[in-house]
Amino acid sequence: MNEARPSFVTTLIEQRGNVAATRARIDAAVARAEVLEPSLRAFTYRPDSYVEPDACAPLAGLPVGVKDLIDTADMPTSYGSPIWRSHRPQADAPVVAQLRALGALVFGKTVTTEFAWRQPGPTVNPWREGHTPGGSSSGSAASVGAGIVALALGTQTVGSVIRPAAYCGAVGYKPSYGTISREGVHALAASLDHIGFFARDVEVAALAHALFVAKRADAVDSVQAWRTWFAPLGAPPRLGVVRTPFDERLQDEQKANFETSLARLRAAGAVVTEIEFDADLAQIVDALQVILRVEAGHAVAAEARDHRDQLSAHMRSLIDEGAAMPQARYEAALSLQAQLRARSAELMAGCDALVSVPATGTAPEGLDDTGDPTFCAPWSLLGVPAVTVPSGWSASGLPLGFQTIGAFGEDLATLRVAAWIEQVIGARRELAPPASAEATA
């Protein structure tokens, strides 16, 4: 990390207890949202005013977007469905309660696709209005990519953190499965659902990891404590390149960007090895699709029973496919998942991390489809940590990403590798601040 310019996280730590700085963070986010939201439409709800947070808490008034799949007692939570329009949960989801306890400000609820499946919401890509932001965590990705907030909560069942982060020019971090409670989060597929984070850079994602996964508030007691806890790598990493049976789907610009990124990593000292991934990636993706279909039917059973006419065609099809799925096929998919998760360290092939593309390329044009999640799917089935960082830009000015994957439970190590990769290939850009709003960067 660059010591010449204080990072966002170290500045946050240094400003703890500074009420004026806390208020300025909130005011800047509000001003930026006021200008961008009419076209971006990342939020389903933002309050008219905010209760002053604890300026001495670890997150000290940090504005955070919360995906509208996650319960908030003081804000509507509709799960992206008209069935739940204006629904007010009785309590915050534990992850939201923890946000508040840490001093963060729930800035608003961000758009999700219907029950985190394919029916899009109104959010547009922050870099090109006619393109999707991805899904299902559409609003969270766009709100971070647009610089309104530096951190947002999302969820991933197949590719709903990593892919939209890549599309929107943000960092996406999917922790190891089960490390954050999903209580108070509407399920899509319980064996696959993860809570994850969108962040302005890997260090902010690591801050979220420290507080929500590792639960190490002491890591941010001081700048020195933070630099010790999230210390840079001592040497360039060993990286294993994962090629897939689906690579023919890649856009030329994504292929070229990935190869250029690998070359830059090699030049910076990384040992980059083409590995033979010791598992059938096509079989893995098929197993995920089986589990998803069966478990979605359970997750949305009440809505399908009582309000089927208000479900999208996408959701009705998913539920019907799950109902027709043989039980033996579902059990075989769960068995494969358990076997591969137990072998995750072995599958790393002696590398510190695996690397892959996070998506087929840039965000597709149009808002009717949220993009192909296939390149995230294997890591969602295994439940291993994954991080994507911005790695370049298409000729038309849309972001491209680069995905880092770790062994199950090795989230901090994976984030450290991702931070090193970000330093070498990072291509984050600031959106030009609107004339009437101060940038939050």
- Residue-wise pLDDT for 364-382, tens only, equals 999 999 999 999 999 999 9
Q: Are 405 and 379 in contact (CB under 8 A)?
A: yes
- Tell me the domains of the chain and their CATH numbers: 8-276+343-425 (3.90.1300.10)
* Active site members: 67, 136, 160
- Rounded CA gap, 26 and 150, in Å? 11
In the numeric block, the tokens 């029916």 are attached to 119
Alpha helices in 188-273 (DSSP H): 202-208, 223-229, 252-267
* Residue located via tokens 């009717």: 368
For residue 87, give every residue at least 6 positions away whose Cβ sits within 8 Å of its Cβ, in sequence order, or none: 76, 77, 78, 79
Please count the other Cβ atoms lying within 10 Å of the Cβ belonging to residue 5. 8
Beta bridge partners of 402: 389
pLDDT tens-digit readout, 268-313 = 999 999 999 999 999 999 999 999 999 999 999 999 999 999 999 9
Residues of the chain with pLDDT > 70: what percent?
Answer: 97
Average pLDDT of the residues of the chain = 96
pLDDT classification of 440: cutoffs 50, 70, 90: very low
The answer to whether residues 199 and 151 touch, using CB atoms and an 8 Å cutoff, is yes
Phi, psi of 264 (to 5 degrees): -70, -35
The mean per-residue pLDDT over the stretch 112-118 comes to 98
Is residue 282 within 8 Å of 245, Cβ to Cβ? yes
Output helix, strand, coil percentages for the chain, rounded to the nearest 5: 40, 15, 45
Query: How far is residue 209's CA from residue 215's CA, in Å, rounded to a whole number?
Result: 8
Sign of the C-alpha dihedral computed for residues 359, 365, 369 and 370 taken in this order: positive
Is the pLDDT assigned to residue 125 strictly greater than 80? yes
